[in-house]
Structure 1
Amino acid sequence: MDALIYTAMSGAERALRGQQVHANNLANIDTGGFRANMELSAAQAVNGYGYDDRHMSQLQANALSTKPGTMKSTGRDLDVAIAGGGFLTVQSANGEAYTRAGGMVLDENGTLRINGDVVLGEGGPITLPEYTNIAIGNDGTISIQAPGTTTMQVIDKLRLVKAEASELTKNTQGLLVARDGNPLATDPSVVLRPGHLEGSNVSAVEEMVSVMSLNRTFEIQMKLFSATDTMTEAGNRLISGS
Protein backbone atom coordinates (compact mmCIF):
# COMPACT_ATOMS: atom_id res chain seq x y z
CA MET A 1 0.00 0.00 0.00
CA ASP A 2 2.81 2.36 0.95
CA ALA A 3 4.46 2.09 -2.48
CA LEU A 4 1.14 2.70 -4.23
CA ILE A 5 0.57 5.86 -2.20
CA TYR A 6 3.96 7.21 -3.35
CA THR A 7 3.05 6.46 -6.97
CA ALA A 8 -0.34 8.15 -6.76
CA MET A 9 0.94 11.17 -4.84
CA SER A 10 3.86 11.71 -7.22
CA GLY A 11 1.65 11.36 -10.30
CA ALA A 12 -0.93 13.80 -8.96
CA GLU A 13 1.72 16.40 -8.14
CA ARG A 14 3.27 16.05 -11.59
CA ALA A 15 -0.16 16.58 -13.22
CA LEU A 16 -0.82 19.74 -11.17
CA ARG A 17 2.58 21.25 -11.92
CA GLY A 18 2.25 20.33 -15.58
CA GLN A 19 -1.02 22.26 -15.73
CA GLN A 20 0.81 25.34 -14.43
CA VAL A 21 3.32 25.08 -17.30
CA HIS A 22 0.57 24.91 -19.93
CA ALA A 23 -1.46 27.65 -18.24
CA ASN A 24 1.56 29.95 -18.46
CA ASN A 25 1.95 29.12 -22.15
CA LEU A 26 -1.70 29.96 -22.83
CA ALA A 27 -1.36 33.22 -20.91
CA ASN A 28 1.45 34.24 -23.30
CA ILE A 29 -0.21 33.19 -26.54
CA ASP A 30 -0.27 36.85 -27.67
CA THR A 31 3.20 37.76 -26.35
CA GLY A 32 5.48 38.58 -29.26
CA GLY A 33 8.47 36.25 -29.62
CA PHE A 34 7.41 34.07 -26.65
CA ARG A 35 8.87 30.55 -26.64
CA ALA A 36 6.60 27.89 -25.14
CA ASN A 37 7.78 26.01 -22.07
CA MET A 38 7.79 22.24 -22.38
CA GLU A 39 6.59 19.94 -19.62
CA LEU A 40 9.21 17.27 -18.91
CA SER A 41 9.49 14.89 -15.99
CA ALA A 42 11.96 12.30 -14.78
CA ALA A 43 11.95 9.54 -12.15
CA GLN A 44 13.60 10.45 -8.86
CA ALA A 45 14.55 7.80 -6.31
CA VAL A 46 13.39 8.24 -2.70
CA ASN A 47 16.38 8.18 -0.35
CA GLY A 48 16.39 6.14 2.83
CA TYR A 49 16.47 2.55 4.04
CA GLY A 50 13.54 0.49 2.80
CA TYR A 51 12.53 2.92 0.03
CA ASP A 52 14.30 1.19 -2.86
CA ASP A 53 11.04 0.36 -4.65
CA ARG A 54 9.63 3.90 -4.34
CA HIS A 55 10.17 6.63 -6.90
CA MET A 56 8.90 10.18 -7.26
CA SER A 57 8.21 12.12 -10.45
CA GLN A 58 10.38 15.23 -10.74
CA LEU A 59 9.07 17.93 -13.10
CA GLN A 60 11.59 19.73 -15.30
CA ALA A 61 9.79 22.79 -16.63
CA ASN A 62 12.74 24.78 -17.94
CA ALA A 63 12.87 23.12 -21.36
CA LEU A 64 11.50 25.22 -24.21
CA SER A 65 10.23 24.93 -27.74
CA THR A 66 12.16 26.77 -30.46
CA LYS A 67 9.74 26.15 -33.31
CA PRO A 68 8.99 29.38 -35.23
CA GLY A 69 5.97 31.51 -34.45
CA THR A 70 3.67 33.23 -36.91
CA MET A 71 5.33 36.15 -38.71
CA LYS A 72 3.42 39.25 -39.74
CA SER A 73 4.37 42.34 -41.72
CA THR A 74 4.21 45.68 -39.91
CA GLY A 75 6.17 47.96 -42.26
CA ARG A 76 7.68 49.67 -39.20
CA ASP A 77 11.36 50.61 -39.55
CA LEU A 78 12.36 49.41 -36.07
CA ASP A 79 10.53 46.07 -36.22
CA VAL A 80 12.57 42.97 -37.06
CA ALA A 81 11.83 39.26 -37.10
CA ILE A 82 14.30 36.41 -37.34
CA ALA A 83 13.97 34.06 -40.30
CA GLY A 84 14.92 30.58 -39.10
CA GLY A 85 17.05 30.04 -36.02
CA GLY A 86 18.66 32.77 -33.97
CA PHE A 87 18.05 35.43 -31.34
CA LEU A 88 18.49 39.13 -30.68
CA THR A 89 20.68 40.11 -27.73
CA VAL A 90 19.57 42.45 -24.96
CA GLN A 91 21.05 43.69 -21.70
CA SER A 92 18.59 42.76 -18.96
CA ALA A 93 18.73 43.52 -15.24
CA ASN A 94 20.35 40.11 -14.73
CA GLY A 95 22.94 40.35 -17.52
CA GLU A 96 23.01 39.43 -21.18
CA ALA A 97 19.89 37.65 -22.46
CA TYR A 98 18.26 36.67 -25.73
CA THR A 99 14.86 37.12 -27.31
CA ARG A 100 12.87 36.64 -30.51
CA ALA A 101 10.74 39.72 -29.80
CA GLY A 102 11.78 42.33 -32.35
CA GLY A 103 9.61 45.35 -31.58
CA MET A 104 12.36 47.90 -30.88
CA VAL A 105 11.74 51.44 -29.64
CA LEU A 106 13.94 54.45 -28.93
CA ASP A 107 14.04 55.94 -25.45
CA GLU A 108 14.61 59.63 -24.68
CA ASN A 109 18.37 59.16 -25.08
CA GLY A 110 18.14 57.48 -28.47
CA THR A 111 18.95 54.02 -27.04
CA LEU A 112 17.25 51.05 -28.66
CA ARG A 113 15.16 48.95 -26.28
CA ILE A 114 12.94 45.87 -26.42
CA ASN A 115 10.34 45.66 -23.66
CA GLY A 116 12.50 48.01 -21.58
CA ASP A 117 15.77 46.10 -22.05
CA VAL A 118 18.68 47.71 -23.92
CA VAL A 119 19.37 46.18 -27.34
CA LEU A 120 22.99 45.15 -27.81
CA GLY A 121 25.01 45.53 -30.99
CA GLU A 122 28.42 44.14 -31.77
CA GLY A 123 29.86 47.24 -30.11
CA GLY A 124 27.65 47.19 -27.02
CA PRO A 125 24.40 49.08 -26.30
CA ILE A 126 23.02 50.74 -29.44
CA THR A 127 22.38 54.48 -29.20
CA LEU A 128 21.33 56.29 -32.36
CA PRO A 129 22.08 59.92 -33.20
CA GLU A 130 19.43 62.16 -34.72
CA TYR A 131 18.32 60.91 -38.12
CA THR A 132 15.75 61.47 -40.86
CA ASN A 133 15.74 57.91 -42.19
CA ILE A 134 16.73 54.52 -40.83
CA ALA A 135 17.15 51.07 -42.35
CA ILE A 136 17.96 47.67 -40.85
CA GLY A 137 19.56 45.11 -43.16
CA ASN A 138 18.94 41.38 -43.31
CA ASP A 139 22.28 40.88 -41.55
CA GLY A 140 21.37 43.24 -38.68
CA THR A 141 23.29 46.27 -39.98
CA ILE A 142 21.71 49.55 -38.82
CA SER A 143 22.10 52.50 -41.18
CA ILE A 144 20.79 56.03 -40.78
CA GLN A 145 20.53 59.18 -42.86
CA ALA A 146 21.66 62.15 -40.81
CA PRO A 147 19.81 65.49 -41.14
CA GLY A 148 21.13 67.53 -44.06
CA THR A 149 22.71 64.52 -45.82
CA THR A 150 21.59 62.32 -48.71
CA THR A 151 23.50 59.12 -47.98
CA MET A 152 22.98 56.31 -45.49
CA GLN A 153 25.68 55.72 -42.88
CA VAL A 154 26.24 52.47 -40.98
CA ILE A 155 25.98 53.05 -37.22
CA ASP A 156 26.15 49.59 -35.70
CA LYS A 157 25.10 45.99 -36.20
CA LEU A 158 22.68 44.01 -34.05
CA ARG A 159 24.38 41.24 -32.10
CA LEU A 160 22.69 38.10 -33.42
CA VAL A 161 23.30 34.70 -31.84
CA LYS A 162 22.17 31.14 -32.38
CA ALA A 163 21.82 28.18 -30.02
CA GLU A 164 20.05 24.85 -29.70
CA ALA A 165 17.03 24.58 -27.42
CA SER A 166 18.97 22.28 -25.08
CA GLU A 167 21.54 25.05 -24.52
CA LEU A 168 18.96 27.60 -23.37
CA THR A 169 16.72 28.21 -20.39
CA LYS A 170 14.66 31.14 -19.11
CA ASN A 171 15.60 33.61 -16.42
CA THR A 172 13.23 35.19 -13.91
CA GLN A 173 12.23 37.82 -16.49
CA GLY A 174 11.19 35.19 -19.01
CA LEU A 175 14.15 35.98 -21.28
CA LEU A 176 16.37 33.27 -22.72
CA VAL A 177 19.85 32.74 -21.30
CA ALA A 178 22.58 30.15 -21.82
CA ARG A 179 22.40 27.20 -19.43
CA ASP A 180 26.14 27.37 -18.73
CA GLY A 181 25.94 31.08 -17.88
CA ASN A 182 28.36 32.13 -20.61
CA PRO A 183 27.45 34.62 -23.38
CA LEU A 184 26.61 33.06 -26.72
CA ALA A 185 28.91 33.79 -29.66
CA THR A 186 27.80 36.10 -32.45
CA ASP A 187 26.56 34.10 -35.44
CA PRO A 188 26.75 35.78 -38.88
CA SER A 189 24.40 33.17 -40.40
CA VAL A 190 21.32 34.59 -38.61
CA VAL A 191 19.01 36.34 -41.08
CA LEU A 192 16.53 39.09 -40.23
CA ARG A 193 13.29 40.14 -41.89
CA PRO A 194 13.01 43.90 -41.34
CA GLY A 195 9.53 45.35 -41.08
CA HIS A 196 8.13 42.12 -39.60
CA LEU A 197 7.34 40.77 -36.13
CA GLU A 198 7.17 37.18 -34.93
CA GLY A 199 4.37 36.13 -32.63
CA SER A 200 4.32 33.51 -29.89
CA ASN A 201 4.95 29.92 -30.93
CA VAL A 202 2.27 28.64 -28.53
CA SER A 203 -0.46 26.51 -30.14
CA ALA A 204 -3.76 26.95 -28.31
CA VAL A 205 -5.03 23.59 -29.57
CA GLU A 206 -1.92 21.69 -28.42
CA GLU A 207 -1.98 23.37 -25.01
CA MET A 208 -5.67 22.63 -24.44
CA VAL A 209 -5.21 18.97 -25.44
CA SER A 210 -2.29 18.71 -23.00
CA VAL A 211 -4.34 20.26 -20.20
CA MET A 212 -7.24 17.82 -20.78
CA SER A 213 -4.79 14.91 -20.78
CA LEU A 214 -3.32 16.08 -17.48
CA ASN A 215 -6.82 16.42 -16.01
CA ARG A 216 -7.53 12.78 -16.86
CA THR A 217 -4.18 11.77 -15.38
CA PHE A 218 -4.99 13.60 -12.14
CA GLU A 219 -8.39 11.89 -11.92
CA ILE A 220 -6.70 8.49 -12.28
CA GLN A 221 -4.29 9.30 -9.45
CA MET A 222 -7.21 10.29 -7.23
CA LYS A 223 -8.89 6.95 -8.00
CA LEU A 224 -5.66 5.21 -6.97
CA PHE A 225 -5.80 7.06 -3.64
CA SER A 226 -9.37 5.82 -3.12
CA ALA A 227 -8.37 2.28 -4.05
CA THR A 228 -5.50 2.46 -1.56
CA ASP A 229 -7.91 3.46 1.22
CA THR A 230 -10.21 0.58 0.37
CA MET A 231 -7.39 -1.97 0.35
CA THR A 232 -5.95 -0.59 3.59
CA GLU A 233 -9.32 -0.89 5.34
CA ALA A 234 -9.68 -4.47 4.09
CA GLY A 235 -6.18 -5.30 5.34
CA ASN A 236 -6.92 -3.81 8.75
CA ARG A 237 -10.09 -5.88 9.06
CA LEU A 238 -8.16 -9.07 8.22
CA ILE A 239 -5.49 -8.29 10.80
CA SER A 240 -7.99 -7.42 13.51
CA GLY A 241 -10.14 -10.42 12.66
CA SER A 242 -13.28 -8.33 12.38
Structure 2
Amino acid sequence: MDRMIYTAMTGALHTMTQQATASHNLANASTTGYRAQTDSFRAVPIYGDSLPTRAFVLDTTTGSDFSPGSIQHTGRPLDVAVQSEGWLTVQLENGEEAYTRHGNLQIDANGVLMTRDGLNVKGDGGVIAIPPDSRVMIAKDGTVSIVSDDSKVTAVSIVGRLKLVNPPAEEMIRGDDGLFRLKNGEAAPADPKVVLVEGALEGSNVNVIHEMVKMISLARQFDMQMKMLENAQQNSQQASEILTLRS
Protein backbone atom coordinates (compact mmCIF):
# COMPACT_ATOMS: atom_id res chain seq x y z
CA MET A 1 0.00 0.00 0.00
CA ASP A 2 2.63 2.52 1.07
CA ARG A 3 4.68 1.71 -2.03
CA MET A 4 1.86 2.95 -4.21
CA ILE A 5 1.49 6.06 -2.05
CA TYR A 6 5.22 6.89 -2.38
CA THR A 7 5.14 6.51 -6.15
CA ALA A 8 1.88 8.41 -6.70
CA MET A 9 2.68 11.21 -4.26
CA THR A 10 6.15 11.97 -5.64
CA GLY A 11 4.93 11.44 -9.20
CA ALA A 12 2.21 14.08 -8.72
CA LEU A 13 4.68 16.50 -7.15
CA HIS A 14 7.22 16.28 -9.94
CA THR A 15 4.55 16.28 -12.63
CA MET A 16 3.78 19.80 -11.47
CA THR A 17 7.49 20.60 -11.81
CA GLN A 18 7.46 19.42 -15.41
CA GLN A 19 4.31 21.44 -16.04
CA ALA A 20 6.20 24.50 -14.81
CA THR A 21 9.03 23.72 -17.25
CA ALA A 22 6.60 23.34 -20.16
CA SER A 23 4.88 26.59 -19.17
CA HIS A 24 8.26 28.34 -19.05
CA ASN A 25 9.08 27.09 -22.54
CA LEU A 26 5.72 28.26 -23.87
CA ALA A 27 6.20 31.67 -22.26
CA ASN A 28 9.51 32.01 -24.14
CA ALA A 29 8.23 30.79 -27.50
CA SER A 30 8.86 34.26 -28.93
CA THR A 31 12.06 35.05 -27.00
CA THR A 32 15.03 35.68 -29.27
CA GLY A 33 17.64 32.94 -29.12
CA TYR A 34 15.87 31.00 -26.37
CA ARG A 35 16.77 27.33 -25.89
CA ALA A 36 13.98 25.06 -24.67
CA GLN A 37 14.51 23.29 -21.35
CA THR A 38 14.17 19.52 -21.19
CA ASP A 39 13.57 17.21 -18.24
CA SER A 40 12.49 13.65 -17.48
CA PHE A 41 11.32 11.37 -14.68
CA ARG A 42 13.50 8.80 -12.97
CA ALA A 43 12.91 6.34 -10.16
CA VAL A 44 15.09 6.70 -7.05
CA PRO A 45 15.22 3.99 -4.34
CA ILE A 46 14.84 5.05 -0.72
CA TYR A 47 17.77 3.98 1.43
CA GLY A 48 17.46 3.65 5.19
CA ASP A 49 18.03 1.19 8.02
CA SER A 50 16.43 -1.60 5.99
CA LEU A 51 16.70 -2.69 2.39
CA PRO A 52 15.67 -0.16 -0.33
CA THR A 53 12.25 -1.70 -0.91
CA ARG A 54 10.60 1.67 -1.59
CA ALA A 55 11.13 4.06 -4.48
CA PHE A 56 9.94 7.53 -5.33
CA VAL A 57 9.74 9.55 -8.54
CA LEU A 58 12.17 12.40 -9.16
CA ASP A 59 12.18 14.99 -11.92
CA THR A 60 15.58 15.48 -13.50
CA THR A 61 16.50 18.46 -15.66
CA THR A 62 18.40 16.75 -18.46
CA GLY A 63 19.55 20.00 -20.05
CA SER A 64 18.47 22.12 -22.98
CA ASP A 65 17.46 21.63 -26.58
CA PHE A 66 20.34 23.08 -28.60
CA SER A 67 18.70 22.78 -32.01
CA PRO A 68 18.77 26.12 -33.88
CA GLY A 69 15.70 28.32 -34.19
CA SER A 70 14.42 30.03 -37.31
CA ILE A 71 16.31 33.11 -38.51
CA GLN A 72 14.27 36.26 -39.05
CA HIS A 73 15.78 39.09 -41.09
CA THR A 74 15.34 42.53 -39.54
CA GLY A 75 17.68 44.69 -41.61
CA ARG A 76 19.00 46.34 -38.43
CA PRO A 77 22.82 46.66 -38.57
CA LEU A 78 23.28 45.74 -34.90
CA ASP A 79 21.18 42.56 -35.14
CA VAL A 80 23.18 39.36 -35.63
CA ALA A 81 22.12 35.72 -35.60
CA VAL A 82 24.45 32.78 -35.13
CA GLN A 83 24.10 30.44 -38.08
CA SER A 84 23.90 26.78 -37.10
CA GLU A 85 26.13 26.11 -34.04
CA GLY A 86 27.97 28.67 -31.94
CA TRP A 87 27.50 31.38 -29.32
CA LEU A 88 28.07 35.06 -28.69
CA THR A 89 30.19 35.89 -25.64
CA VAL A 90 29.14 38.41 -23.01
CA GLN A 91 31.03 39.69 -19.99
CA LEU A 92 29.32 39.57 -16.61
CA GLU A 93 29.74 42.18 -13.88
CA ASN A 94 32.22 39.94 -12.05
CA GLY A 95 34.37 39.66 -15.18
CA GLU A 96 33.38 36.10 -16.03
CA GLU A 97 32.17 34.98 -19.44
CA ALA A 98 28.74 33.70 -20.39
CA TYR A 99 27.23 32.73 -23.72
CA THR A 100 24.02 33.63 -25.50
CA ARG A 101 22.32 33.38 -28.88
CA HIS A 102 20.48 36.69 -28.36
CA GLY A 103 22.05 38.94 -30.97
CA ASN A 104 19.92 42.08 -30.52
CA LEU A 105 22.88 44.37 -29.77
CA GLN A 106 22.97 48.05 -28.89
CA ILE A 107 25.43 50.80 -28.01
CA ASP A 108 25.22 52.46 -24.60
CA ALA A 109 25.89 56.11 -23.76
CA ASN A 110 29.61 55.39 -23.35
CA GLY A 111 29.88 53.78 -26.78
CA VAL A 112 30.23 50.20 -25.47
CA LEU A 113 28.64 47.43 -27.51
CA MET A 114 26.11 45.66 -25.28
CA THR A 115 23.25 43.19 -25.35
CA ARG A 116 19.64 44.22 -24.86
CA ASP A 117 19.98 43.16 -21.20
CA GLY A 118 22.87 45.57 -20.62
CA LEU A 119 25.73 43.06 -20.68
CA ASN A 120 28.98 43.98 -22.41
CA VAL A 121 29.57 42.03 -25.61
CA LYS A 122 33.04 40.58 -25.44
CA GLY A 123 35.47 40.67 -28.33
CA ASP A 124 38.71 38.83 -28.85
CA GLY A 125 40.50 41.67 -27.04
CA GLY A 126 37.89 42.56 -24.43
CA VAL A 127 34.86 44.82 -24.62
CA ILE A 128 34.26 46.65 -27.90
CA ALA A 129 34.00 50.46 -27.88
CA ILE A 130 32.31 52.32 -30.73
CA PRO A 131 33.42 55.93 -31.44
CA PRO A 132 30.64 58.53 -31.54
CA ASP A 133 29.00 59.56 -34.81
CA SER A 134 29.80 56.26 -36.48
CA ARG A 135 27.85 53.65 -38.37
CA VAL A 136 28.50 50.08 -37.29
CA MET A 137 28.81 47.03 -39.55
CA ILE A 138 29.25 43.48 -38.28
CA ALA A 139 30.67 40.94 -40.73
CA LYS A 140 29.92 37.22 -40.90
CA ASP A 141 33.10 36.38 -39.01
CA GLY A 142 32.24 38.81 -36.20
CA THR A 143 34.49 41.65 -37.33
CA VAL A 144 33.07 44.99 -36.14
CA SER A 145 33.78 47.89 -38.51
CA ILE A 146 32.74 51.53 -38.41
CA VAL A 147 32.28 54.30 -40.95
CA SER A 148 32.14 57.91 -39.86
CA ASP A 149 28.90 59.81 -40.41
CA ASP A 150 31.02 62.59 -41.93
CA SER A 151 30.51 62.29 -45.68
CA LYS A 152 34.08 63.48 -46.23
CA VAL A 153 35.44 60.39 -44.45
CA THR A 154 34.98 57.19 -46.45
CA ALA A 155 37.56 54.97 -44.80
CA VAL A 156 36.37 51.86 -42.97
CA SER A 157 37.97 51.18 -39.61
CA ILE A 158 37.96 47.90 -37.69
CA VAL A 159 37.36 48.38 -33.96
CA GLY A 160 37.24 44.75 -32.87
CA ARG A 161 35.91 41.29 -33.46
CA LEU A 162 33.16 39.51 -31.55
CA LYS A 163 34.34 36.50 -29.61
CA LEU A 164 32.39 33.60 -31.11
CA VAL A 165 32.66 30.22 -29.42
CA ASN A 166 31.34 26.73 -30.05
CA PRO A 167 31.99 24.44 -27.06
CA PRO A 168 30.38 20.96 -27.03
CA ALA A 169 26.74 21.06 -25.95
CA GLU A 170 27.31 18.45 -23.23
CA GLU A 171 29.81 20.77 -21.55
CA MET A 172 27.38 23.69 -21.24
CA ILE A 173 24.92 24.46 -18.48
CA ARG A 174 22.17 27.06 -18.25
CA GLY A 175 22.32 29.54 -15.38
CA ASP A 176 19.42 31.10 -13.49
CA ASP A 177 19.90 34.25 -15.59
CA GLY A 178 19.21 32.31 -18.81
CA LEU A 179 22.82 32.53 -19.98
CA PHE A 180 24.98 29.49 -20.63
CA ARG A 181 28.38 28.68 -19.16
CA LEU A 182 30.87 25.85 -19.26
CA LYS A 183 30.36 23.33 -16.47
CA ASN A 184 34.00 23.60 -15.44
CA GLY A 185 33.70 27.38 -15.02
CA GLU A 186 36.43 28.13 -17.55
CA ALA A 187 36.25 30.40 -20.60
CA ALA A 188 35.62 28.75 -23.96
CA PRO A 189 38.17 29.39 -26.73
CA ALA A 190 37.19 31.43 -29.78
CA ASP A 191 36.14 29.40 -32.80
CA PRO A 192 36.79 31.00 -36.22
CA LYS A 193 34.33 28.57 -37.87
CA VAL A 194 31.28 30.19 -36.24
CA VAL A 195 29.35 32.26 -38.79
CA LEU A 196 26.97 35.15 -38.20
CA VAL A 197 24.00 36.31 -40.25
CA GLU A 198 23.96 40.09 -40.47
CA GLY A 199 20.78 42.08 -39.94
CA ALA A 200 18.89 39.10 -38.52
CA LEU A 201 17.80 37.52 -35.25
CA GLU A 202 17.34 33.89 -34.32
CA GLY A 203 13.93 32.97 -32.95
CA SER A 204 13.20 30.61 -30.09
CA ASN A 205 13.54 26.89 -30.82
CA VAL A 206 10.48 26.02 -28.71
CA ASN A 207 8.04 23.74 -30.53
CA VAL A 208 4.73 25.20 -29.37
CA ILE A 209 2.64 22.22 -30.52
CA HIS A 210 4.95 19.76 -28.75
CA GLU A 211 4.82 21.76 -25.52
CA MET A 212 1.02 22.04 -25.64
CA VAL A 213 0.66 18.28 -26.14
CA LYS A 214 3.11 17.76 -23.28
CA MET A 215 1.02 19.99 -21.02
CA ILE A 216 -2.09 17.93 -21.78
CA SER A 217 -0.22 14.67 -21.20
CA LEU A 218 1.17 15.92 -17.87
CA ALA A 219 -2.28 17.03 -16.75
CA ARG A 220 -3.60 13.51 -17.42
CA GLN A 221 -0.66 12.00 -15.55
CA PHE A 222 -1.38 14.22 -12.55
CA ASP A 223 -5.04 13.16 -12.53
CA MET A 224 -4.03 9.50 -12.70
CA GLN A 225 -1.63 9.87 -9.78
CA MET A 226 -4.25 11.63 -7.68
CA LYS A 227 -6.69 8.80 -8.39
CA MET A 228 -4.05 6.33 -7.22
CA LEU A 229 -3.82 8.21 -3.94
CA GLU A 230 -7.61 8.13 -3.60
CA ASN A 231 -7.61 4.39 -4.29
CA ALA A 232 -4.91 3.87 -1.67
CA GLN A 233 -7.00 5.78 0.86
CA GLN A 234 -10.12 3.74 0.03
CA ASN A 235 -8.18 0.47 0.27
CA SER A 236 -6.79 1.52 3.65
CA GLN A 237 -10.26 2.34 4.95
CA GLN A 238 -11.68 -0.97 3.73
CA ALA A 239 -8.78 -2.87 5.28
CA SER A 240 -9.40 -1.11 8.59
CA GLU A 241 -13.10 -2.01 8.47
CA ILE A 242 -12.29 -5.68 7.81
CA LEU A 243 -9.83 -5.78 10.71
CA THR A 244 -12.44 -4.13 12.96
CA LEU A 245 -15.05 -6.77 12.08
CA ARG A 246 -12.63 -9.61 12.77
CA SER A 247 -11.69 -8.21 16.15
TM-score normalised to the size of structure 1? 0.94
Contact 2:11/2:58, CA 8 A, preserved across alignment: no
Number of residues paired by the alignment? 242
C-alpha distance in 1, partners of 2:138/2:16?
45
Q: Please give the secondary structure, in 2, of the residue aligned with 1:33.
A: coil
Contact 1:90 1:96 in 2 (8 A): yes
What pairs up with 1:169-188 in 2 under 5 angstroms? 169-188=173-192
Distance of aligned partners of 1:238 and 1:209 in 2 relative to their CA distance in 1, 3 Å threshold: same
CA distance in 1, matches of 2:88, 2:204: 15
Instruction: Tell me what 1:135 maps to.
Output: 137
Change in CA separation of 1:123 and 1:216 when aligned onto 2, cut-off 3 Å:
same
CA distance in 2, matches of 1:185, 1:30: 30
Please say if residues 46 and 52 of structure 1, whose CA atoms lie closer than 8 Å, have aligned partners that are also in contact.
Answer: yes
| TM-score (ref. length: structure 2) | 0.92
In 2 relative to 1, CA 15–232 (structure 1 residues): closer, same or farther, beyond 3 Å? same
Contact 1:15 1:218 (C-alpha < 8 Å) held by counterparts: yes
Which residue number in structure 1 is paired with residue 206 of structure 2? Answer: 202
Contact 1:79 1:103 in 2 (8 A): yes
CA distance in 1, matches of 2:208, 2:119: 28
**In the alignment, is the contact (CA less than 8 A) between 2:107 and 2:114 conserved in 1?**
yes
Q: Does 1:122 align with 2:149?
A: no
- The residue aligned with 1:38 is 38
Kept in 2: contact 1:162–1:186 (CA 8 A) = yes
> Which string of whole-angstrom CA distances, capped at 9 and with x for unpartnered residues, describes residues 33-68 of structure 1?
111111223322212123612122222236111111
Q: Contact 2:90 / 2:119 at 8 angstroms: preserved in 1?
A: yes
Alignment-derived partner of residue 92 in structure 2:
92
Question: What is the alpha-carbon root mean square deviation over aligned residues?
Answer: 1.6
Q: Percent identical across equivalent pairs? A: 37
Moved over 6 A (4+): none
**Which letter maps to 1:188?**
P
